[in-house]
Every structure is written in C-alpha cells, then in structure tokens.
Chain A
Amino acid sequence: MSKVVEISPTTRHEGHTKLTMQVDDNGVVTRGDWLSLTPVRGGIEKLAVGKSMHQAPKISSRVCGICPIAHTLAGTEAMEASIGCIIPDDAYLLRVILQCANRLHSHALHNILSLPDMYIPGTDTHINPFTPEEPVRSVALRIQKLREVGQTVGEIVGGEPIHPSNPPRVGGMYKNISPPRAQIKIYDLAKEALPLAQDHMDFMISVFKDWDARPMASVAGGKEVEKTEKFGFHDQGYMASDTLYGSSSLDLDQKWYPERWTEVRPWDWYQGELEVSLEDPDYPVGGTTPPVGTKVWPAMEACTGVPLYDGAPIETGPRARLAMFRNYDRKGAMGLQIARQMEYMDCLYSMIEAVEALDTNGKVVADEIPQGDGSLGWAANEAPRGTDVHLTKVLNGKVEWYSLLVPTTWNFPTVSRALEGAPWQLTEVIMRAYDPCVSCATHMMVVDDSKKVVAQKLFQ
C-alpha cells in the first residue's frame, strides 16, 4: 500500500524546498514532487518594466549571490539582443573570463554541500568537510583555494565577485583591465589553480564513483538503506546552449529555441492534496514532516512555474552540456555529479585562453548603442546550474517586457521524475546532484490568471 512521506525543509542547497513523496511498502518512491517553498518575490520581471535597459540586468543579478554573473550576463545580453548591439571582442573575452571564474567558484562551493552524503572512498566514514582531520582537511582547503581563485578573478574583471559592478554594461564592459598587472594576476591565479583543480576533480570523481558502487548508503550519517539500481535515472531530455558560455538571438547559429519553450502552472503539474502517512523522526536531523495526518498539497504550495521544452520537462546543467556537446552518457545522480567535476578544467583552460587573447588596450564598449524598437531579444547563459535564458523587449532604452527562465526552474519537474525508484531516505542525494538554486528558480512566477490554459506561448 502506498504511503506519503515528506522531507521539509530539504538542506544543503540554496533556498527553501521540500520533497513530497508517495512510497511503496519498501520505501521506494512511486511518485515524487520536489517543489520550491521560497516565497515569490516582488517579481524581477514586473519590477524591471519601465526601467532603463542598463539597470534591469543589475536588478536581475540580485536574484542570486552564487551565480550573479549568469543573471548579469544573460540580462545584459538579452538587452543587447533586443536592441541589436554587437559588443567588441575584448569585451566578450572579459565576459568569458568572468563566466569561467564564476563557474569555478560555484562548482567548488557545491562540493562542500555534496560531500557530507559521500564516504571517504573505501571506508564507511561519511565526509565531514569541517573536520580538522586528514584527508578531508586538505580537500576542504583545496576547495577554498579554488573558490578564492574564482572570486578573485571575478573581482578583477567584474569589479565585484558577487554582483559584478564594473561590467558588464549594455554594449560591452565599463572598463578593460589595466595592463599588465591585472592580466598577469589572472594568468597566475589560473595557473596556480590548474594542478589543484586536476587533483580535486580526480578526488571528487572517485568519491562519487565509490558511492555509486555501494549496495547500501545513507544521507549524511543517517540510517543505511539499500540502494536501488538506476539511482536517480530519468527519461527526460537535455537542454544546453553551449559547453561554456551560451547563445543569443544575435547569433547566426542559435543554440536555444524560444518556440520550443512552453510553461505550465504548478497546478497542472504537481500532485494534488495528500495526507502524510509515514513519519520518520530519525531522519537526520530532526525527522520528516510530522505528524501523520498532516495535509499537504504540492500543486498549491509550489512557488515556481513549470517550464517545458518540446512539451516535456528537461534536464539542464553540466551533464546536459556534456551530453549534448561531448557525447557524455553516464546517467543517474552520480552521472550528473561526475559531469560537474569534469567541467573544472575547462573553466581554467578557457580562462587562460581568454586572458591570453585579451588586448588590455582594446576597446570594450560598442561605438554605437541603439536604443531599441521593442523587438524581442533573448540570451542564454550557461550558468553553473544550466541554461539561464533571459528574454526581453527594449524600446527607447527602456525595458518593455522581461522574462527569466533559470536553470533550477527547468530542473524542478525533472528531479521530481528522477526520484522515482529511489528509497525515499536517499532522495535528497538526487536533488543535490542538481545543485539547486531555489532563489534563482523562484525569482517570480509567470502566471496569467485570466487564462486557465496550460501553456503560455512566447510568440503570439
């Protein structure tokens, strides 16, 4: 007989979510919902309307402090796409360096969140990143160093690693970096991080493979349960616009397709009213939703819309990038974790390549910045967590319409599918593999109350 269990709140990811699951007699999920409980903000999209095209991306940066670069770049480039502004090469190179720096720090930060579920390979000891003991101590220090490199480079190029201030601006960047010191500093930092990242990637991959190979596992030191085969598998497709940077409607060869995007309301997607019938006070730390009999209603509670691509949920993120552009084929939660680690080296190599190609005396602002005639423009940025698409219409320098489709929003329904077949006690491991960023996902809900119809098409 099917029972309902709920983990609320979930932990070790950005934001506020819960897992509401129906499970069979063995505790295996038969239908699961992972949903955002993060209160809907005023709504960046609504707020941006009427503001200048220069200000809107700075507001959207504030959606998230882990991946502000993604929102700033996607926002700025959507504005540029709408007004038809091509930025100078050196501005683009600076943006690439920023992109790499941000991904480096973000992936390293996520390691800290994931490691407590994992074991020191070959032992039954869960990894506590805060322990002063080896070998974990060195791993933690290495993670800090990689983050420091990412954030310092973000500081030099972006003015600020959290909410870049200097760049970008519509039309390019405010400033180039000054020769030769800043250029050398970025180069040195990247070189310093290179061998660390190599070791770190190898270590992290061995940790995730070790977990995958275990017959039993627990979440961060809780009760051991038997793992199931195909842990975290799903049959949804992938969506990515590039391995590193992104794509926009200015590109000749566009890699994201607005006409394939539709959005449904949580009402149409999540489970209806349920009653919690299974409770585990020992679930670490603090137990599951008590008491038995509590009413839950995912369809009403979810705070995000449900974006679909070709009418179905898709996965976006590191694995989607590698699967689409590099023939990567490892499935499941650990397949996604491993793909994320595989992106480390590209962050650093691309950073080095871009800083080498950069002319620090080069122009970084377009000569002409058109004011826009209300045409639709979009830009997809490959944020650490996946494709972050911003769409906008700019008229006379002002934002007429603005919409954000962020990675974690895309992943919500996909994760819900990927929970099926897993023991409920390990479902947080699946969710964490997606590196959720829920304040990104909940920047606002796009709902047209007047229309009860499922999909909201972009092109009327």
Chain B
Amino acid sequence: MVLGNYKNCVSARAADPAILSASQDGGIVTQLFAFALEEGIIDGAVVAGPGDEPYKPEPVVATTVAELMEARGTRYTICPNVSMIKEATRSYGLDKVGVVGTPCQIQAVRKAQLYPMGMRSVGDKIALAIGIFCMENFPYQGLETMVEDLCNVKMESAVKMDIGKGKFSVYTARGAVSQIPLKMTHKFEQPGCHVCLDYVANLADVSTGSVGSPDGWSTVFTRTKKGETIWGGKAIEAGYFETKPIADVKPGLDLVTKLATDKITKNQKTLDERASFGVDKGLRNPYI
C-alpha cells in the first residue's frame, strides 16, 4: 500500500522532443497537460511557472502550451500551487482545471473537493490532478544555500537540479556538474515534510516521478478512472507517449517501493514521537 491504489504502472516518456528538451524526466506532466488542453479535457492548468528569482517558482494558470513549456523542470522549493485553484475558476473563468503538485498538494486538492471550506464551486471543476513523487522539499533560502554555498554554483547559472542516487546535483549552462551527498542537505529540508506519509502522490489521477525508470524516462501510475481514460484510453492511443511495461525496466518498482517504505517509516516515527514531545504533553497530530 505504500504506492497507493493504482490501475496501471508503466515507464514512459513524451513523444514530443521539444517537450523533452527541458523537462525534468520523461516530460510526462507537460505532455499530458498539453494533450488535455488540445483535447478540451482541461481549459487550463495550475503549474509552477517562473518567478522573480531564479529557481523560485510561482503558481500560474497556464492556458497555452507555451506557458506549460515555461514551467518545465523541477524546482526543489515550495510553490503554493493550491493557492491558485480557486482563482483559476474565478478571474480566469476556467471550467475544467488541471493541477500539478507534490503529494501534499494533491491531498489539499482532494480535501478541498470533499470539504470545500471557502472553496465554493471549485471541487467539480478539478478536471485532472497530476501528482509528482516527492521525498522532501526545501525553503528557497535552503535551496540557495545548497546551490550557492555547498555546490558553489550561482543560482542564475543553473539549468537543472536533480536529486537521485544519493546525491543533489546542479547542472550549469556551460556544462559543469556539481554534486553534494544528500546527507548534507538534510538540515535544509522544510520541517513540515517530516510528517508526510505519501511518496508517490497516492491521491492523484495520474502520478509520475523519476525513480524506477532510466534517465530521460518516468515512472507513471494511473490511479483513477479519469486518469486511466485520459492516459491509457486517449493519450497513448493518439501517440503522445512512448511506454514500456514497468516490469521490463531497471530498477523498476522495487526501488520505488523501497524508497516509499523508507519515507513512510521514517516519517511515521517522527509523527509518533510528536505524541510525547513534551513532558506529559505532546504536539498535534493532523492525522487523528
């Protein structure tokens, strides 16, 4: 159950090389939204668009493929996408909203749909929720310190950042790669991530991440009926993605399962410890 409910899991990448040129992994998020936009399945999507500072994203409502393209790539810092889902249905006038987010953000979307506090007529307008795998996130200052001080790269020069194989890596436009071991980044993690019990966006329609698939490819779970129809029934048929059975790729689901188990076990422990954090008193547990 650490991988959540899902109907199908494959390794995949976008068919469009233009999308792949700057996507983080297999370009699943960008390609799927672009497809949904063209098909009228969504009329816009909340994505992490460019912000004022390098690698500091801001939530935007993208209604064109060009805007989706600008949001490609992982920014390892907080981008409050959920703050825009209501606005998307308001001044943007959307009826069918797409949204991408980390597991916690997808949880927020689902909660807003079921318990719409101050979320009047938003729930039924969420048309496609794509989740991205997430082990942890960093506040912007933390990311800046990791990149500029520990990796010795100017934020402005970075063209890609990546976490994988136990390392945090920064790539520059001039071809340099700078890496630090992940354990050096731990103290910069946002503390809220330490009680998070979801690795592979269990509540999304479709979730995707890099782990499990080779470089340039993504691991994709289709979870809901909606996700299944859009992905399997339509996008694949129309030739938008190349896919391989997940069983045929290395390292495959075993590694995803291992990492998900590690995350949940570790964070469940943190959560348990909160109960007796003080002397004769504890800290709040949002799950009970």
Q: How far is the CB of B252 from chain A (nearest CB, A)?
A: 42
Known: A160-B120, A181-B43. A155 touches B90 (CB 8 A): yes
A28 sits at the interface (CB 8 A): no
A159 sits at the interface (CB 8 A): yes
Q: How far is the CB of B168 from chain A (nearest CB, A)?
A: 37
Q: List the count of A-B residue pairs having beta carbons below 8 Å apart.
A: 42
B285 sits at the interface (CB 8 A): no
A254 sits at the interface (CB 8 A): no
Q: Cβ of B120 and Cβ of A177 under 8 Å apart?
A: no
Which of B3-11, B34-42, B91-99, B103-111 sits within the interface?
A: B91-99
**Residues in A neighbouring B87, C-beta threshold 8 A:** 159
**Residues in B neighbouring A183, C-beta threshold 8 A:** 93
Q: Cβ of B90 and Cβ of A166 under 8 Å apart?
A: yes
A176 sits at the interface (CB 8 A): yes
B63 sits at the interface (CB 8 A): yes
B89 sits at the interface (CB 8 A): yes
Known: A160-B120, A181-B43, A181-B94. A155 touches B63 (CB 8 A): no
Task: Select from chain B the residue with minimum beta-carbon distance to A183.
Answer: B93
In the complex, A177 Cα to B94 Cα: how many Å? 11
Q: Interface centre among B91, B92, B95, by most A CB within 10 Å?
A: B91
Task: Select from chain A the residue with minimum beta-carbon distance to B44.
Answer: A181
Q: How far is the CB of B192 from chain A (nearest CB, A)?
A: 26
Contact with A155, one of B43, B44, B89 (Cβ below 8 angstroms): B89
Residues 136 to 165 of chain A near chain B (Cβ within 8 Å): 152, 155-157, 159-162
**Residues in B neighbouring A176, C-beta threshold 8 A:** 91
How many interface residues does A have (CB within 8 Å)?
Answer: 19
Q: How far is the CB of B271 from chain A (nearest CB, A)?
A: 34
A51 sits at the interface (CB 8 A): no
A175 sits at the interface (CB 8 A): yes
Interface size class of B (residues with CB under 8 A): 10 to 19
**Residues in B neighbouring A162, C-beta threshold 8 A:** 120
Q: Cβ of A181 and Cβ of B90 under 8 Å apart?
A: no
B21 sits at the interface (CB 8 A): no
Q: Cβ of B120 and Cβ of A156 under 8 Å apart?
A: no
In the complex, A385 Cα to B180 Cα: how many Å? 68
Q: Cβ of B91 and Cβ of A159 under 8 Å apart?
A: yes
Residues 115 to 150 of chain B near chain A (Cβ within 8 Å): 120-121
**Residues in A neighbouring B63, C-beta threshold 8 A:** 178, 181
**Residues in B neighbouring A178, C-beta threshold 8 A:** 61, 63, 91-93
Known: A155-B121, A160-B120. A185 touches B93 (CB 8 A): yes
In the complex, A118 Cα to B121 Cα: how many Å? 33
**Residues in A neighbouring B93, C-beta threshold 8 A:** 156, 177-178, 181-186
Q: How far is the CB of A168 from chain B (nearest CB, A)?
A: 13
Q: Which 3 pairs show the lowest CB-CB distances between chains A and B?
A: A182-B93, A185-B93, A181-B93
Assuming A157-B91, A162-B120, A175-B91, what are 12 further A-B pairs, CB within 8 angstroms?
A152-B121, A155-B121, A156-B91, A160-B120, A178-B61, A178-B93, A181-B44, A181-B92, A181-B94, A182-B92, A185-B95, A186-B93
List the interface of chain B (C-beta within 8 A of A). Answer: 43-44, 61, 63, 87, 89-95, 120-121
Q: Give me 28 A-to-B residue pairs in the complex whose CB atoms sit less than 8 angstroms apart, sorted by A's number.
A: A152-B121, A155-B89, A155-B90, A155-B121, A156-B90, A156-B91, A156-B93, A157-B91, A159-B87, A159-B90, A159-B91, A160-B90, A162-B120, A166-B90, A175-B91, A176-B91, A177-B91, A177-B93, A178-B63, A178-B91, A178-B92, A178-B93, A181-B44, A181-B92, A181-B94, A182-B91, A184-B93, A185-B93
